[in-house]
Chain A
Amino acid sequence: MTYVALAYGFIWVAVFVYVALVGRRVARINAEIEDLRQRVKPGA
């Protein structure tokens, strides 16, 4: 039973880590968008 739980638990952790990494990429894109917005602001 331990091996079965380990196998399924690992899949959960792997998917969670992947989603977290994608989330980090989204945060980076949002930061770049904000940076661009500041640059195109009138008077910037």
Chain B
Amino acid sequence: MLATMPSARRSSASFLAGIAATLVGFLLVPLLVANAPLEKTMGVVQKIFYFHVPCAWLLMLSTFVCAGGSLAYLFAGSERGDRLALCSAELGVLFGLCVMVTGPLWARAAWGVFWTWDVRLTSSLMLWLMLIAYRLARRYGGAGGRRLAAAMALFAAADVPLVYLSVNFWRGLHPNTKTVSSLAPGMRLPFFTSLLIFSALWGVLLALRMRVERAHSRLAELAIAVEDAEEESL
């Protein structure tokens, strides 16, 4: 017990250092983006790209992690997998909301409209709604809600390739998947730094949320044990 205390303290310290580094990075992203070269056609508004794409990547990553955790829960009964699925679905809803707000802001300036029923936009909206449905099933689905939500997570994961590849199959207004690989050299550093920092933020939020969920599960077990003990003593 005593031997594990310093390592627990070290783990908490490194966790706090990770949070601090992520927050500093998150503050520094606008500086990098401000110094990135201007895109010729769209001008300043193209800089939304540096936030919009990382949020979209995190929406897809959250969905895959949610599906992975759900698979572990459905086929191996893993409670940890279930907790991971729940926490990553929440982050998917959060970053999906950011995609749904930053995208239309960019579209308004670039295309003249906030929204159009382009395949990429529509499939992304569907993906985000599926994660919201997952969360609602968990909250209001009753006894079978967890299994129902897990099955929905697998369905949502099947939508991710459609979201990503839709721009190559159906011609629409949204830029295709070659945009990132064809970035100008001056835009690569701010973009990949932003992507890295957003991903680190996602990791920190996931770790935080997992800790809370683990504490909640232990508390529920303790409450049951206390109730049993109280009934026995009566």
Which A residues have a C-beta under 8 Å from some C-beta of B?
Answer: 1, 3-4, 6-8, 10-12, 14-15, 18-19, 22, 25-26, 29, 32-33, 36, 39-40
Does B106 contact A3, Cβ atoms closer than 8 Å?
A: yes
- Name the distance in Å between B138's Cβ and chain A's nearest Cβ: 14
Does B165 sit at the interface, judged by CB under 8 A? no
Nearest CB of A to B186, in Å: 17
Cβ–Cβ contact A8 & B94, under 8 A: no
Please pick, from A3, A33, A40, the residue contacting B45 in the complex, using a CB distance under 8 A: A3
B97 and chain A: residue at smallest CB distance: A14
Known: A29-B212, A36-B226. A7 touches B105 (CB 8 A): yes
A36 → chain B closest CB, angstroms: 6
Per-residue interface assignment for chain B, residues 162 to 177, with 1 indicating a CB less than 8 Å from any chain A CB and 0 otherwise: 0000000000000000
| Distance from A20 Cβ to chain B, minimum over Cβ atoms (Å) | 12
Residue pairs across A and B with Cβ atoms less than 8 A apart, 11 shown, are: A7-B51, A8-B30, A10-B98, A11-B102, A12-B26, A15-B94, A19-B205, A36-B222, A36-B223, A39-B230, A40-B229
